[in-house]
Each structure stands twice: as structure tokens, then as C-alpha cells.
């Protein structure tokens, strides 16, 4: 018990990694045991209720239980601090411009992975009307932004901070990306995780992470809604991003050129917002990091749950690649 909590009642690496491994196992086991109950289709309000319950129970609850067991100050640990209007605007700018950069990265990665077999995209809901759009914005946009930020930037980032801000930011981003179990977008999700970790650390507020996360997810929902409206057939619209590898060579070339230009143009203001945030938050240095023992060194035992989680995720990715290649039937 003493290894899981310091006298300061801040999360430790071991504690954070155990929670992470627990969440991963819960997600995978729930998919295996309750496949009939889980939202495998995107029809009706039932889909959103199930997705909401999964996010809160499987991802958010373990982190909350850990903090409550060890009687931590949740407000302090999770950085429930306000942010200045200028910080909020810069974070919003990063999220908006960063979104288009990530699309360009996803396109390149999608093309690379498509050489391994037929890619399998993430199941997204059919959004045919305003009520479905609002429901998707809430459950796909806001709920994950709050719940996942509480786990990763509220708990895991704190746990790794005593080994340095850079290590904590990068490691939290990697764990964030890998937990999504999405081979087709894992590089961009890891980058997003690193960016959000940086944003939360610089502003010393989880609210900044929630804003970035919500804008990113919400933009995806918005474009999906617009796409369905423009095409007029949600089933056809649903196939567009998932079958991009099957586009004719000339169309693929056009897509690369167009999104390459858009991604580059978005990258410039994105970097500007990052630099601006770094300068704007330079006076918050004293409140960011937790004051813990500087002599502490990362041990194999502390990282063991994370290593176990990574092995599980890698095996899952290997099975997905084999399935894509047609050598494995599930």
C-alpha cells in the first residue's frame, strides 16, 4: 500500500499504471464478454446510452476509485483550476488548426497501413438529424473529453511528473494513444495525447485539456453530420473515410496533395498558438509540478503494469493486422 501512495497523497507511477492496466483489461474483457450488449452498431439512442455508460464506468470510475481509496485531494490532483481567457483562446486555436494537421497525418498513415491489407475503420454513428447530432456531440464529444482527461491528465500525468515534465507528457500521450486500440489512427492519437498533456501541464488546468479534447472530437462529429447531409445517404457517407484505400490512384493522389496543403497551412498557425501558449503561461511554473522526492528513480516494478498493458495492446494490434491481411478469421 505504501508503494501506491506517497505522503503528499499524489498519484505514483505504480498506482497510475495499475489503474491504466485495469482500464485496459476492463475495456478488452467487456468487448469479449458483452459483445452482444456493447454498441457494435450506431443506430438509435440505445447506442449513445451504452457508449456513455462504457466511458464513465470502464474509464472514469477506476481513476476516481483510486483517488478516493487513498484520500487524495481530487481538485488538486486533477488540476481543477480555472484558465485565463487568453489561455483558452490559444488552446482553442491549437485544437482547431491541429485537427487538420492530424487529418493529413491520418491520411498518410492510412495509406501505409493499407498495404498490409484491407483497413478497418472505427465505427461511427449515422447522424441524420439535429437531435442525433446533439446526442453525438454530447456522448462522443463532451463525455470522452471529461472522462478520459480525468484519467490521463488528472491521474496518469500526475503520477509520472516526479520523473520530469517532458517524460510525463510524452509517456502520458503514448499511453493515451495506445488505449484507443485504433491501428488506423494510433500515430495521430498519440500526438494528440502528447499535445493535450503539454497543454494541461502548461496551463496547470485540466479544463484546457477538456477544451482541446472536446473541440477535436466535436469537429469530427460536425464534419460527419455535414457529410451525411451533403451526400444524403448516411450509409454511403459512412464508407467514405473507411474505404479511402480503394480510391483510384488519381483520386488518392489528389487527396494527398489537397490534405498535404491543408495540413501544412494549418501547421503554421498551430505552431504559433503553441508558442503563444508557452509564452503566455511562463508565469505558472511554480504551480505546475508536484513537489515530490527528487531522488526517486523509476523502477521496473513501477513500470511493470504499463509494460504488461503495452504487450496486450501490441498483441491486439498484431491480431488486427492479421485480420486485415485475411490470414485470420474472427
Could you give the CA distance from residue 46 to residue 49 in angstroms, rounded to a whole number? Answer: 5
3-state secondary structure of 39: coil
Statement: residue 49 has pLDDT above 70: yes
Q: Where do the H-state alpha helices sit in the chain?
A: 13-33, 44-54, 61-69, 74-77, 85-113, 130-136, 143-151, 157-160, 165-179, 186-203, 206-231, 234-239, 249-280, 285-288, 300-325
Lowest mean pLDDT, pick from 42-56, 137-151, 188-202, 227-241: 227-241
Cell 487524495, located at residue: 72
- In the predicted structure, residue 279 carries a pLDDT above the cut 70: yes
Q: For 65-90, write each residue's pLDDT tens digit.
A: 999 999 999 999 999 999 999 999 99
Grade residue 298 by pLDDT with cuts at 50, 70 and 90: confident
- Beta bridge partners, 5, equal 11
Of the candidates 186, 173, 212, the residue with the CA atom closest to the CA atom of residue 122: 186
Cell of 121: 475503420
32 alpha-carbon distance from chain centroid: 22
Write out pLDDT tens, residues 2-41.
444 444 588 999 999 999 999 999 998 887 776 555 554 5
pLDDT of residue 290: 55
- Nearest-5° Cα angle at 101, 179 to 141: 50
The number of residues making up the chain comes to 330
For the chain, the structural domain boundaries read 2-325
pLDDT at position 217: 96
The reported pTM is 0.88
Amino acid at each position: 500500500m505504501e508503494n501506491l501512495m506517497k505522503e503528499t497523497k499524489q498519484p505514483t507511477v505504480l498506482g497510475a499504471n495499475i489503474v491504466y492496466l485495469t482500464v485496459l483489461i476492463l475495456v478488452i474483457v467487456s468487448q469479449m464478454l458483452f459483445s452482444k450488449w456493447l454498441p457494435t452498431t450506431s443506430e438509435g439512442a440505445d447506442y449513445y446510452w451504452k457508449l456513455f455508460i462504457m466511458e464513465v464506468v470502464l474509464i472514469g470510475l477506476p481513476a476516481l476509485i483510486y483517488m478516493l481509496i487513498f484520500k487524495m485531494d481530487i481538485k488538486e490532483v486533477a488540476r481543477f483550476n480555472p484558465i485565463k481567457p487568453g489561455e483558452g483562446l490559444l488552446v482553442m486555436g491549437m485544437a482547431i488548426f491541429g485537427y487538420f494537421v492530424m487529418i493529413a497525418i491520418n491520411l498518410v498513415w492510412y495509406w501505409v497501413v493499407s498495404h498490409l491489407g484491407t483497413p478497418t475503420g472505427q465505427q461511427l454513428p449515422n447522424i441524420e438529424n439535429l437531435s442525433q447530432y446533439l446526442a453525438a456531440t454530447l456522448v462522443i464529444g463532451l463525455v470522452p473529453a471529461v472522462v478520459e482527461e480525468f484519467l490521463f491528465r488528472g491521474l496518469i500525468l500526475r503520477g509520472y511528473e516526479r520523473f520530469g515534465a517532458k517524460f510525463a507528457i510524452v509517456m502520458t500521450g503514448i499511453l493515451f494513444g495506445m488505449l484507443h486500440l485504433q491501428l488506423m489512427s494510433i500515430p495521430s492519437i498519440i500526438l494528440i495525447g502528447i499535445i493535450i498533456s503539454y497543454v494541461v501541464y502548461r496551463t496547470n488546468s485540466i479544463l484546457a485539456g477538456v477544451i482541446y479534447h472536446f473541440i477535436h472530437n466535436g469537429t469530427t462529429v460536425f464534419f460527419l453530420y455535414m457529410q451525411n447531409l451533403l451526400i444524403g445517404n448516411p450509409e454511403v457517407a459512412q464508407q467514405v473515410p473507411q474505404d479511402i484505400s480503394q480510391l483510384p490512384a488519381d483520386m488518392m493522389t489528389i487527396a494527398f496533395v489537397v490534405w498535404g496543403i491543408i495540413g501544412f497551412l494549418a501547421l503554421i498557425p498551430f505552431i504559433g498558438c503553441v508558442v503563444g501558449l508557452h509564452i503566455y503561461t511562463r508565469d505558472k511554473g511554480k504551480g505546475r509540478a508536484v513537489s515530490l522526492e527528487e531522488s526517486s528513480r523509476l523502477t521496473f516494478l513501477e513500470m511493470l503494469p504499463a509494460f504488461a498493458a503495452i504487450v496486450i495492446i501490441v498483441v491486439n494490434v498484431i491480431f488486427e493486422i492479421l485480420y486485415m491481411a485475411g490470414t485470420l478469421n474472427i
